[in-house]
Structure 1
């Protein structure tokens, strides 16, 4: 033991080399310190993996890997982007190049994808609401026209109990986009299927059958007539209902609740009101998806990057007023959607979100 005490054991650090047999696994004793280096506002520790010889540091495989700009400037730029400010406006305020801001937004979206893939999986959710949000991309088009389905829509899956945005897809109102939304949402769910509730759009029922249906061939009965054709039947555990709004002109006449698949579905659970309220939050809080705006995205990839950052920040870093509760001492406890569900133990900061790295604790 030296004058500075025992050498630290890096039990929570893992090797980022995918070729290493200890990739993504901590606590194996293969990581040792390799000094530090100074950046503008702090020191960064370096490591060596004794198994494969890979040299890395605290910022490897995070948003800040090989980023030289001051972190506070980047965080401020991304907070502006979350609120829907344009890339050019952010560049003008911070006196950087628009291409630099665009690159930060792209890297942030990739980091958020990694966080969602690692943490947003196998949630035990009892109900999932799905809806589509009309957005403007490239040029302004009038909504509610014959060709509105050809425009860009934001398809969202939402867990109302925890106000958790499960995932989203950008695309036209077509069958293949509905199929993709169901597949993407299913990747985040556990084996127990929740109740799915959507609006009356016809594409959802076929998408659920494609994902959860089984091909059934019916035996011959021996009676006259043609035999029954093979068909796709829904899984016995699938529960799906629709909220259909009947309108006359622009006025709502009647709201009808339909059970499409499944049995014993409580009529009070057939609702998409909380997701529709979330759509209002999107529009009020984010200039890129507002209805009457000239701040819309000129390219769909810019909208995707911004919305991926926005939704992940919403889940992990933002207190939700609908999730607050009063403690015994009278104080109010605020919760983020991720904290409410139990994905995280506390509210994250944007810096913590951008510094997240996947980790697997060794059981040996």
Structure 2
């Protein structure tokens, strides 16, 4: 059986985390599209396990959460009736980030339902060590999901953006929901910046893209690789270290070869 050389595996991962599509990666790395897909799947699975094992018992002060839209195979309005409920159509990625260390604590791929909001917030809760100040946007599903997951052990606020009749942004309302959040620290700026990072590093999230995911599983694997790369490999420009180093999880940055070797 042919075994893909480690150096080639590293090159493929490098191309994927820098925003190249699968076919673009195939052309640059001079390998088949099936080879690229196999690397995506095997490394993606390993990264899911790695993230789950490493991002635990996190000490944090401020956490911000948001959702970002994408689609698998086709947009919801263009999805055939027989394909609905099979992972095809609109999907939402829920992301929770530590505002100080920029560490992505939790991410979850699903719908934008109350049930998915609860699953996501429950995962955020189980990865934290202490009580935190949590900020989300004004999406109503959070109003039940947060207290159901955290109980009363949370200082929770929503940042509700306001628009005029023409759709122009005119300000934001800071609304306390639970506990005693510091109003000066009620913001979703850091998690919204993470949304931009996702769009830059994963072609699947670019607006009006033709590099959309064809399978929801591969959509999840691509994100698993991205978040491990973001947390453990990529040096944050402001912090000058990786988010995982800033959070005290590791003492030095990982390298792409370490990601490639996770499957071993």
TM-score by length of 2: 0.88
More relative contact order, 1 or 2 (CA 8 Å, 6+ apart): 2
Q: Deviations over 1:282-321 (max 9, x none)?
A: 2233321011321221222221111110111011000111
Deviations 1:210-229 (A, max 9, x none): 2233xxxxxxxxxxxxxxxx
**Which residue number corresponds to residue 338 of structure 1?**
244
Q: 1:284 to 1:250 in 2, by over 3 A?
A: farther
CA deviation after TM superposition for structure 1 residue 141, in Å: 6.4
What's the secondary structure of 1:322's corresponding residue?
Answer: coil
- With the length of structure 1 as denominator, give the TM-score of the two structures: 0.65
CA distance in 2, matches of 1:239, 1:261: 5
In the alignment, does 2:115 pair up with 1:176? yes
Q: Give 1 or 2 for the bigger CA radius of gyration.
A: 1
Question: How far off its partner does 1:136 sit?
Answer: 3.1
Q: Which runs of 5+ in 2 are unaligned?
A: 78-88
Asked if structure 2 preserves the Cα contact closer than 8 Å seen for 1:111 and 1:354, the reply is no
Kept in 2: contact 1:151–1:171 (CA 8 A): no
1:294-349, CA deviations, whole angstroms, 9 ceiling, x for partnerless residues?
A: 122122222111111011101100011121xxxxxxxxxx2010111111111110
Q: Which one has a larger percent helix, Structure 1 or Structure 2?
A: 2
Indicate the SS of the match to 1:109.
helix
Do the aligned residues in 1 keep the contact of 2:232 with 2:243 (CA within 8 Å)? Answer: yes
Per-residue Cα deviation, 1:259-289 (whole angstroms, up to 9, x for no partner): 10002x2111111111111212222333210
2:261 aligns with 355
**Matches of 1:81 and 1:133 in 2, distance apart?**
20
Match of 2:53 in 1: 118
Write out per-residue CA displacement over residues 222-264 of structure 1, whole angstroms, 9 at most, x where no aligned residue. xxxxxxxxxxxxx2x321100001212321123100010002x
Matched residues in 2 for 1:354 and 1:67: separation?
17
Alignment equivalent of 2:5, drawn from 70, 95, 114: 70
Contact persistence 2:125–2:150 (CA under 8 A): no
- 1:132 corresponds to: 67
Q: CA RMSD in A?
A: 2.1
User: CA separation in 1, counterparts of 2:223 and 2:94?
Assistant: 12
Separation (CA, whole Å) in 2 of partners of 1:84 and 1:305: 14
- Name the count of aligned residue pairs: 252
Q: CA shift at 1:94, angstroms? A: 3.1
Higher share in strand:
1
